[in-house]
Structure 1
């Protein structure tokens, strides 16, 4: 499509700015209701009254993102309220379609219009200077029609893929539940186990938070919390230090020990690992870990998978102590934790099965995530084609 008939105009020439009609309401003064209360990036609440009853275009004034493809602008329709963090635009519909303006603003990189170093802002004066591409109205309608249909199909595909990702998480948790409760007994605590299984407290069969005795001059691996990744198959980035420099004030561990994050939100995110590839088989690190050193009755991989179960995570959260936002799973909870324990040979089989299932699920997740990324890139490509006259 040739663009020689397309014009460019400043926003102030083709849109009425209705900022004088917006009214902020503090959270304590809002009364819950059915009408959307809009802020910089969309709906932030629902209240009992409204200011506007028409379709308008909103774009963030502060607290938003204004880069290319950042969805800076959006449509508000029906009855609603707008606070003072969003500009309110009423395009002249004789020359500009609302949805075309939204697509164009979201396609555009508006960073050059943004002021402020610490608190970034698209002030009204800069807003007025934004240059808007103006094809003929018929062409705008054609472009909007193609983009609406294409984006709807893409968004539906993304939605399906995102649900597939959730289904994979549910599949893993279902497998874990069946693994550790093979008889599907609904008893809340110490449910019935197969004949050759038994309940054991972790304190009976493991050392909890052991201390190492090592020569001061030996090199060891040191790891911080940000390197604790979910899953023992990951490779860690260790820092090599002298034992004398870390033996006090840090957690101790050895090759094969399990590190279990004890602080929120790391615990909730199932951050637990088996330490491997340690320098001289010795390590130290953050005190926000519980270290579990397995004995002769249980293998590390089997126990690690138990730590990934929803039941364990929920019970751990219920037993956390400390101030809100910095709660921790106490040592006594770990020590007294009851573990359903099959024979060692069966533990090996279970761990191998869960390892393989987890890797397959990981591969599928990567595939779905790649598809989602490709679909998001397709949306960008369509916008680029649209505003370069090639759609």
Structure 2
């Protein structure tokens, strides 16, 4: 490869967007603007635009035109997309870089180069910040850019997009598979409940004790550091303990907010009712107020695993939607949780239902693992493709496979 390598600042114009002013409104015209979250890899999402004040004499400086490359300055640095234009004016804020390539550089070539540099660590080496990464403008301008002849850049981009269309079609099929797995599980839950013909229905408050967890108080830090469960730790049917935090609790609070084997932990907000059965030893964790602890009164009458499955069915079928409070963030208050009705058949019937659904969970987990493995292979192939493209090794002709649209039909 005999391509000349230039710094980005030598062959493109770069600029950061408008710094937002959180002070008093000045009565200037309001204009829509793009934020970091609007720019994803290869696309600009305009479904959630905010507005800001912008003086008429700043419109050109902070405007976005068709063909501009928008690049995230913070967070996932380098994440970028080409703006293809729209009829109405739109600005951009300081969390984004605007790149306008010179005549020697194809904007599509640069967009894929930045993705390649994001994957191989080049951009991370230019970043600043320890907690949240940033790519300052002076560092962006130092990005090394190989500059083959323009017609060669176009040929490389065409080959990249030809191959990526197959990978992206495959990724869409994997997403379809995920959705079908989820729909199959919900259908199985619903069928399991319908099969319990003649079972008595009882409220959760009748068969179990429920309580909310510890209200955290930053001003009152008394007791020993104790691991505690948060909303984010409770997933459907399992716990994610990769990020368990500590909070000071007194001895009496440790006893009051303990989590025992067989307790059903359910989310109070966010995705209300999302629940899982705790199976680890007593005394390992407490729980905060964002969670309900459901403790069956008589395990010889109701299996906790059965209760959790029937609660999941009641929540995810939509029958409990009327019980949620809140407009932006939904909540399931304790008094509402206690009146949710579940079927309570004979204990052996509960065991049969749990065992049957457990077999489906096992099959579902194996399929999810296969889908995850396929997704990882697609990601690896995408990375390898970009590496080949920008090292001058992507020389094959376009694939003779059907187009992505044909694959997805």
Assess same fold via TM > 0.5.
Answer: yes
Q: Is the 8 A contact 1:230 1:271 kept in 2?
A: yes
Q: Provide Cα deviations, 1:313-354, integer angstroms capped at 9, x if missing partner.
A: 856665457998695531x33433322223322222111111
Q: Is the 8 A contact 2:310 2:343 kept in 1?
A: no
Task: Describe the shift of the 1:245–1:98 C-alpha distance in structure 2 as closer, same or farther (beyond 3 A).
Answer: same
| Aligned residue in 1 for 2:100 | 90
| Aligned residue in 1 for 2:310 | 306
Task: Describe the shift of the 1:293–1:38 C-alpha distance in structure 2 as closer, same or farther (beyond 3 A).
Answer: same
Task: Describe the shift of the 1:343–1:232 C-alpha distance in structure 2 as closer, same or farther (beyond 3 A).
Answer: same
| Structure 2 residue corresponding to 1:225, chosen from 220, 224, 229 | 229
Q: Provide Cα deviations, 1:253-304, integer angstroms capped at 9, x if missing partner.
A: 554x332224323645x2321x43536xx77722533232252332222212
Q: Is the 8 A contact 2:311 2:342 kept in 1?
A: no
Number of residue equivalences: 345
Counterparts of residues 1-391 of structure 1 (less than 5 Å): 3-4=1-2, 6-17=3-14, 19=15, 30=30, 37-40=33-36, 41=39, 42-44=44-46, 45=48, 51-60=63-72, 62-66=73-77, 72-79=79-86, 81-85=90-94, 86-93=96-103, 95-108=104-117, 109-115=122-128, 121-182=134-195, 194=197, 196-208=198-210, 224-225=228-229, 229-230=234-235, 245=251, 250-252=256-258, 254-255=260-261, 257-265=262-270, 267-268=272-273, 270-273=274-277, 275-276=278-279, 278=281, 285-287=286-288, 288-295=291-298, 296-309=300-313, 311=315, 318-319=322-323, 327=331, 329-330=333-334, 332-391=335-394
Query: How far did 1:357 drift?
Result: 0.7
Query: How far did 1:23 drift?
Result: 5.7
Task: Describe the shift of the 1:272–1:87 C-alpha distance in structure 2 as closer, same or farther (beyond 3 A).
Answer: same
Query: How far did 1:236 drift?
Result: 7.7
Task: Describe the shift of the 1:204–1:125 C-alpha distance in structure 2 as closer, same or farther (beyond 3 A).
Answer: closer
Distance (whole Å) between structure 1 residues aligned to residue 107 and residue 241 of structure 2: 51
Q: Is the 8 A contact 1:261 1:272 kept in 2?
A: yes
Distance (whole Å) between structure 1 residues aligned to residue 20 and residue 281 of structure 2: 56
Task: Describe the shift of the 1:233–1:264 C-alpha distance in structure 2 as closer, same or farther (beyond 3 A).
Answer: closer
Distance (whole Å) between structure 1 residues aligned to residue 137 and residue 199 of structure 2: 70
Gaps of 5+ in 2: 52-58, 213-225, 245-249, 395-409
Task: Describe the shift of the 1:311–1:389 C-alpha distance in structure 2 as closer, same or farther (beyond 3 A).
Answer: same
